[in-house]
Amino acid sequence: MKNILIIDDDIAVRTSLSLLLKRASYQVSDASNPKDAISSVRRNTFNLIIMDMNYSRATTGEEGLTLLKDIKSYAPQTPVILMTAWASIQLAVEGMKLGASDFISKPWNNDQLLRNVKTALQLVDNDQKDLQGVSRSNLDKKYDFEKIIGESPQMLRILSTIGRVSQTDASVMILGESGTGKELIAEAIHMNSQRSNQSFIKVNLGGIPSTLFESEMFGYKRGAFTDAKSDRMGRFEMAHNGTIFLDEIGDLPLNNQVKLLRVLQEGSFEKLGSTITQSVDVRLISATNHNIKALVESGQFREDLFYRINLITIQLPPLRDRTDDIPLMVNHFIGNLKTLYKRSHLTISSSAMQWLKQLPWSGNIRELKNLIERVVVISPNDTITIADFQAHIHTMPKKTDATSLPPIGSMTLEDIEKSMILKALEFHGNNISKVANTLGLSRAALYRRLEKYNLTNETSS
């Protein structure tokens, strides 16, 4: 039986939480002040601690932060869930930086709190499992990773992680360049979860205008606005009891970030035009190709939302860093195309396979897949050679006249953007302000691009 310690100076809170957790078959202890709490932590082993942030008339949260530091010094591996009022969530963010695993706001939703407790305990159990001797065949015996191609060490570590966290309700953030397969990873987490028989709702936040965010995500009642001819279900309601995948979350405007935080924090929302609060139980997976920490530091992404959505972070490597997986992917794509185009003798020469492994693949797996299909469609040869690829590749940059645009198809927009940034940096002697002004960008937007293209070492303030 898991042993949980509750620390709060309010006897009503301690009593209420104790009853809730005991009914859920947890063993519960409590403490009313930091001194008694530390005494309990030193004498006993707890699987989880739930603690308030204030223990006197002061509401600064300093007592809670000090207590958290002390707890972590005595029990560094014990997960801690912080409790705070909605208006003081910034305190919880400070606590997360000090090692807390999660935070909930008062008044809490019982079902949501129990899910948070279960998730925190499961994550600790998973972290303690032996990960030695992991192989793709062993992983495939335990999990459904049918759509994910790869046996490189990086991918084995990622598959092992998503296999373990899929059984929890932990929020997962997937980071990686465009085309690295973030959506496939999100689907794999859902398919291996206890919610696999429920809905998997995909939302491209970059494609939703800011003014339509609430109606798209939470739905609306008939008559809520001029064109609301009938009731509409929002994406969160569609995902109830299942998983919601928020792609391109780094593009979400600040004014909508707080609306998203509220539904994730409270597990409830109201449709536009309705005063009825609806509860929702969803597992959140998000993804972005932006440097999300840089967005937080520049004030473009809320720090409290950042800590809410990334209990688990998965960083997908670019294809150029996992070239050993390229032959597996090529053969997989060729196998599908044999059936699709009724060309049963299709194959690829060994020299062509080695040549593909040398390319930079700025578009990652998506670029590789598109190139393979383009060559198969256009080339009449059953054995595809280097010459076939060279005749039809569109994405490799070529030398161009310094004063003219490159020929169509010789460079991607990303190649051109990187080249222009490099030229501006050289022209302005790496002065960020002047470069940003020349390119018509804000400093924050320029920094994001510098991170994206690994150019941060080229610059000075």
Instruction: Give me the CATH number covering residue 36.
Output: 3.40.50.2300
Which one-letter amino acid corresponds to residue 397?
A: P
Whether the pLDDT of residue 401 is over 50: the answer is no
What's the pLDDT score for residue 419? 84
> What does the alpha-carbon distance between residue 232 and residue 220 come to, in Å, rounded to a whole number?
5
Cα diameter, the chain: 80
Whether the pLDDT of residue 400 is over 90: the answer is no
**Which token pair is 417?**
């953007």
Q: Are residues 184 and 257 in the same domain?
A: yes
Query: What percent of the chain lies above the pLDDT cut of 70?
Result: 92
**Which token pair is 202?**
């995909």
> What does the alpha-carbon distance between residue 1 and residue 21 come to, in Å, rounded to a whole number?
12
> Please, are residues 111 and 281 in contact by the beta-carbon 8 Å criterion?
yes
What's the pLDDT score for residue 132? 52
> What does the alpha-carbon distance between residue 297 and residue 315 come to, in Å, rounded to a whole number?
19
Whether the pLDDT of residue 197 is over 80: the answer is yes
Is residue 403 domain-resident?
no
DSSP string, 129-171: S--TT--HHHHHHHS--TT----SHHHHHHHHHHHHHTTS---
Whether the pLDDT of residue 124 is over 90: the answer is no
What's the pLDDT score for residue 409? 54
What's the pLDDT score for residue 25? 95
Is residue 408 domain-resident?
no
The residue out of 282, 317, 352 marking a domain boundary is 317
Is residue 406 domain-resident?
no
DSSP string, 62-101: HHHHHHHHHHHHH-TTS-EEEEEEGGGHHHHHHHHHTT--
Average pLDDT of span 74-97: 84
**How many separate domains does the chain show?**
4
Of 54-58, 167-171, 193-197, 217-221, minimum mean pLDDT range: 54-58
Q: Are residues 266 and 364 in the same domain?
A: no
Of 157-161, 265-269, 449-453, minimum mean pLDDT range: 449-453
Q: Are residues 206 and 312 in the same domain?
A: yes
Q: Are residues 144 and 263 in the same domain?
A: yes
Q: Please compute Rg for the chain using Cα positions.
A: 26
Can you give the residue range of the structural domain that contains 386? 320-392
Whether the pLDDT of residue 455 is over 90: the answer is no
Average pLDDT of span 317-325: 94
pLDDT mean across residues, the chain: 88
Is residue 407 domain-resident?
no
Q: Are residues 179 and 287 in the same domain?
A: yes
List the CATH number of the domain containing 255: 3.40.50.300
Q: Are residues 269 and 366 in the same domain?
A: no
pLDDT band at 458 (very low <50, low <70, confident <90, very high): low
Of 107-116, 162-171, 359-368, 415-424, minimum mean pLDDT range: 415-424
Which one-letter amino acid corresponds to residue 320?
A: R
**Which token pair is 70?**
């002390």
What's the pLDDT score for residue 391? 84
> Please, are residues 233 and 240 in contact by the beta-carbon 8 Å criterion?
no
Q: Is 271 exposed, middle or buried (0-12, 13-18, 19+ CB in 10 A)?
A: buried
Is residue 398 domain-resident?
no
Average pLDDT of span 77-83: 93
Q: Are residues 313 and 326 in the same domain?
A: no
Average pLDDT of span 316-330: 94
Whether the pLDDT of residue 408 is over 60: the answer is no
User: Which residues touch 432 (CB under 8 Å, ≥6 apart)?
Assistant: 443, 446, 447, 459, 460, 461
Is residue 360 domain-resident?
yes
In the chain, what is the straight-line distance between the N-terminal and C-terminal CA atoms, in Å?
Answer: 55
User: Which residues touch 397 (CB under 8 Å, ≥6 apart)?
Assistant: 406, 410, 411, 412, 415, 419
The residue out of 300, 317, 334 marking a domain boundary is 317
Q: Are residues 142 and 263 in the same domain?
A: yes
List the CATH number of the domain containing 453: 1.10.10
> What does the alpha-carbon distance between residue 211 and residue 262 come to, in Å, rounded to a whole number?
18
List the CATH number of the domain containing 355: 1.10.8.60
pLDDT band at 445 (very low <50, low <70, confident <90, very high): confident
Reference 167, options 140, 192, 150, 136; nearest CA is 192
The residue out of 127, 148, 169 marking a domain boundary is 127
Reference 268, options 242, 236, 238; nearest CA is 236
pLDDT digits (tens, 9 = 90+) for 352-393: 999 999 999 999 999 999 999 999 999 898 999 999 998 877
Q: If you count them, how many residues does the chain have?
A: 461
Question: Under DSSP, is residue 243 helix (H, G, I), strand (E, B) or coil?
Answer: strand
* Cis, bond preceding 79 (omega within 30 deg of 0): no
> Is the entire prediction scored with pTM above 0.85?
no
Question: Under DSSP, is residue 278 helix (H, G, I), strand (E, B) or coil?
Answer: strand
Q: Are residues 241 and 360 in the same domain?
A: no
Q: Are residues 257 and 227 in the same domain?
A: yes
Q: Are residues 211 and 309 in the same domain?
A: yes
What's the pLDDT score for residue 106? 84
pLDDT band at 344 (very low <50, low <70, confident <90, very high): very high
Is residue 400 domain-resident?
no
Q: Are residues 143 and 212 in the same domain?
A: yes
Of 109-123, 252-266, 379-393, 440-454, minimum mean pLDDT range: 440-454
Lookup result for tokens 């070239």 = 323
Is residue 430 domain-resident?
yes
**Which token pair is 113?**
């709190």
> Please, are residues 198 and 243 in contact by the beta-carbon 8 Å criterion?
yes
What's the pLDDT score for residue 86? 61
Could you give the C-alpha distances from 367 to 85, 272, 329, 379, in angstroms and in order? Answer: 47, 41, 12, 18
Average pLDDT of span 89-115: 87
**Which token pair is 187?**
């689907």
